[in-house]
Homo-oligomer: A and B are copies of this chain.
Amino acid sequence: MLDRARVLDAGDPLEEYRERFLVPEGVIYLDGNSLGCLPKATPARIEQVVREEWGQDLIRSWNSAGWIDMPARVGAKIAPLIGAQPHEVIACDSTSVNLFKLISAALALRPDRKVVLSEPGNFPTDLYMIEGLEKQGLAERRLAERGKLVEALDDGVALLLLTHTHYKTGELFDMGELTRAAHDAGALVLWDLSHSGGALPVDLNGCGADFAVGCGYKYLGGGPGAPAYAFVAERHLEAAQQPLTGWMGHAAPFAFSDDYAAAPGVEKLLCGTPPILGLAALEVGVDLIAEIGVERLYAKAQKLSEFFRQCLAENGVTLDLVSPADPARRGSQLSFRAGQAYAICQALIARGVIGDFRDPDILRFGFAPAYLRFEDVAEAARHLAEVLETGEWQREEFRERAAVT
């Protein structure tokens, strides 16, 4: 298998890009879907922001270093990765906070409806942010299983909120089909692209999507807790209103008026002062992913994950696949159900193979193709086979839960 992997690596058009990331010695990193690897250009850029822009130029950098434009600038760079126009995307706050803004915006655009429809098992923060608005009395949360979403779209539904690539299983929604169904029912759609953006081609405008949010620290390589992004379709930019009306979303923040007047464009989604260190790191990651291109990345990710399945099979590993078997129906990850998933995951980490665990019984492997080789995948499969064969996952040390799992 290793021989075959090396042949595949030699023919890989993305091979050169691995060198642009720091991939730690002795680590096979299958968790780029959770926290992407560090682009090698990031430390120097951050040092420049810290030592020069902050340290030397201080407050002047809001103008001279373009800090004030960073949310819009980084947003505009994310836009082509998700099928949006540059002026429809902004980088700011967290995915959760942006969900709150856009769920609220959708509810305000459908004042006679209150239901926000999603699926059980969606990423928790998506569901919790609906609950936050529900507790305010402004929304009503409705959950329907994946196969019953369309029939749950009645005339009470203001918004359909779904995660394009499911965080646990990697299953993809058909964005075009669901968006159409929601619109047919008079509802708006908000797509959470956290596990899609930078991993696979997304065509928000092609699908007629209304709103979207996504995460900066996964496939986009923005670093731990990077700022997130938010998309508002051009046709909603004028009417959209959101309640987190902070001064940076004002049409003229430095007029210091007592009364709020929303910025005309997507800047109306801004709230507080933008986090410059985080945005600078995110920009480096986005530039690099844009340079590689999401089409090529997704093509390689599909090959990597299929190769992993072959290697598992050849190693005699039979785990219950919970991701779609068809690579075109899943994002850049594979998830398996395993009774002792947590301990198996820990045993793999001890061997330098970093995947992750999702409660209660999911082993999740992400294939971030910018820096992952077929060789890594073959080796990861061998390690997993050995962990299961030897039973080393049964060791006491692998059972104790850490704070973050």
Contacts and interface: CB of A to CB of B under 8 A. Distances in A.
Interface in A100-150: 100, 104, 120-125, 127-129, 131-133, 135-138, 143
A58 B43 contact: no
B244 A100 contact: yes
Contacts of A49: 224
Interface in A185-240: 217, 223-228
Given A43-B50, A55-B38, A143 B60 contact: no
A272 B95 contact: yes
A38 B104 CA distance: 38
Contacts of A138: 136-137
A181 interface: no
Contact of A67 (B96, B224, B226): B224
B359 A256 contact: yes
Interface stretch (A22-30, A325-333, A381-389): A22-30
Contact of A274 (B29, B131, B225, B271): B225
A276 B274 CA distance: 14
Contact of A354 (B59, B132, B227, B255): B59
Interface stretch (A257-265, A289-297, A313-321): A257-265
Contacts of A228: 272
Contacts of A124: 247, 250, 253, 256-258, 260
Interface string A61-99: 111000111000000000000000000000001111100
A275 B245 contact: no
Contact of A24 (B29, B58, B227): B58
B95 A403 contact: no
A402 B137 CA distance: 42
A277 interface: yes
Given A31-B58, A59-B354, 11 more contacts: A35-B54, A62-B404, A68-B404, A94-B272, A124-B250, A129-B245, A131-B259, A132-B244, A225-B275, A254-B359, A254-B405
A245 B94 contact: no
A335 interface: no
A118 B244 CA distance: 18
Given A124-B258, A223-B54, A60 B272 contact: no
A356 B46 CA distance: 26
18 contacts: A24-B57, A34-B59, A35-B58, A54-B224, A58-B354, A93-B94, A95-B273, A96-B271, A97-B246, A127-B258, A129-B246, A132-B243, A224-B273, A224-B275, A225-B275, A225-B276, A275-B278, A277-B281
B246 A128 contact: yes
B46 A58 contact: no
A282 B46 CA distance: 15
A278 to B, nearest CB: 5
B97 A254 contact: no
A357 to B, nearest CB: 9
A177 interface: no
Nearest to A243: B132
Contact of A125 (B96, B121, B272, B354): B272
Nearest to A22: B55
Contacts of A356: 59
A56 interface: yes
A349 interface: yes
A223 B46 CA distance: 12
A243 B133 contact: yes
